[in-house]
Structure 1
């Protein structure tokens, strides 16, 4: 099987982006729908500054999107493929002892 080096680079960037417990937790939460940073902070056991940092990294990795509506900023998974990736990662670990 052949794969373009650019595709490998983007895959590594996405996997690095989600390779922290808080970031993966945020992705799992966003799997249920969009949320504000304040809503995420209520569930993720991290300081709001840390959550903002994780959101920035997830955005740079291309895993989430950001939309401003009025004074609020909402984050969501980038697309259905991102949701499937999160599901597959969780399925992978649930099948392991």
Structure 2
């Protein structure tokens, strides 16, 4: 006859802590959603990374062309989308436009990601 095991009762304990301490507000979600949507394209995600890591923290389209097998107008379009989503700032100097990562936007995204990792 098989041995019968007896189980010791334990108090119920949550297996995992919540992912975030508080849910996003409607306003925060409305601000972050376009940024996340813009970053949903691999070329744009990579562009943001290249601009952020470029010497001096800013880059021109002319600095980014060689990193992609894309035309300059396509790269400019992707940079425009990132700017429109609030992830990049831009400054025109002569015929070139220089892009810089918006540190506040990056901090907001970082906070969202860090909160989800808890």
- Give yes or no for TM over 0.5: yes
The TM-score, its normalising length taken from structure 1, stands at 0.77
Runs of 5+ unmatched residues, structure 2 = 1-21, 114-118
Deviations 1:56-77 (A, max 9, x none): 1001100000011233210110
Runs ≥4 residues deviating over 4 A: 83-86
Give the Cα separation in 2 of the matches to 1:6 and 1:63. 17
Deviations 1:36-90 (A, max 9, x none): 111111112211111011011001100000011233210110116517847x97x
RMSD: 2.3
Q: Residue 93 of structure 1 corresponds to which residue in structure 2? A: none
Runs of 5+ unmatched residues, structure 1 = 90-97
Tell me the matched-pair count. 88
The TM-score, its normalising length taken from structure 2, stands at 0.65
Q: Residue 64 of structure 2 corresponds to which residue in structure 1? A: 40
The structure with more radius of gyration: 2
Shift of 1:34: 0.8
